């Protein structure tokens, strides 16, 4: 089995509960946000005809009524068939400062949660070193 080599500059982080409306100038499509980074994101469940390389799209990400929305300009980097739908990876071409702050804050919380989870597991399993 061949191992996939990660070519990303930044680590992507899973993002649960966020959806995206993405527009190509003529149509608006809905997708599910799978993961994010400062420089990119992945959307799932887009229609098969989506993601023309070299084209720029406007996307609005929303996490629900109490969460802020983020408007980004993105360009598709890759697409992968997922049944009748597509998973599409995008590079972020333009992003507001509040997006960058959100990603940094999310990354910080995700790292703290991992460290806390790991310490609790190590204590439970007996491998915790204080």
Find the CATH number of the domain harbouring 24.
Answer: 2.40.10.220
pLDDT digits (tens, 9 = 90+) for 8-37: 455 777 888 899 999 988 889 999 999 998
Q: What is the mean pLDDT of residues 105-126?
A: 49
Is residue 106 in some structural domain? Answer: no
Residue range(s) defining the domain that contains residue 85: 13-96
Kindly report whether the global pTM for this prediction surpasses the value 0.75.
no
Q: For residue 72, which of 64, 60, 87, 90 has the smallest C-alpha distance?
A: 60
Query: How many domains would you assign to the chain?
Result: 1
**Cα–Cα distance between 94 and 108 in angstroms, integer?**
22
Is residue 120 in some structural domain? Answer: no
Helix, strand and coil percent figures for the chain, each rounded to 5: 20, 40, 35
**Cα–Cα distance between 45 and 18 in angstroms, integer?**
13
The phi, psi pair for 21, rounded to 5°, reads -110, 125
Residue 123, Cβ neighbours under 10 Å: how many? 11
Is residue 6 in some structural domain? Answer: no
């Amino acid at each position: 089995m061949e191992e996939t080599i990660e070519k990303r500059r930044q680590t992507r982080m899973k993002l649960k509960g966020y959806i995206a409306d993405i527009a190509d100038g003529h149509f608006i499509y809905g997708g599910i946000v799978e993961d994010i980074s400062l420089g990119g994101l992945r959307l799932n469940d887009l229609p098969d005809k989506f993601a023309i390389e070299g084209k720029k799209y406007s996307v609005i990400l929303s996490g629900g009524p109490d969460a802020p929305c983020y408007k980004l300009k993105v360009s598709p980097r890759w697409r992968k068939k997922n049944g009748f739908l597509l998973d599409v990876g995008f590079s972020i071409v333009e992003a507001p400062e509040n997006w960058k702050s959100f990603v940094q804050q999310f990354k910080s919380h995700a790292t703290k949660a991992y460290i806390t989870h790991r310490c609790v597991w190590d204590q439970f399993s007996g491998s915790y070193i204080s």
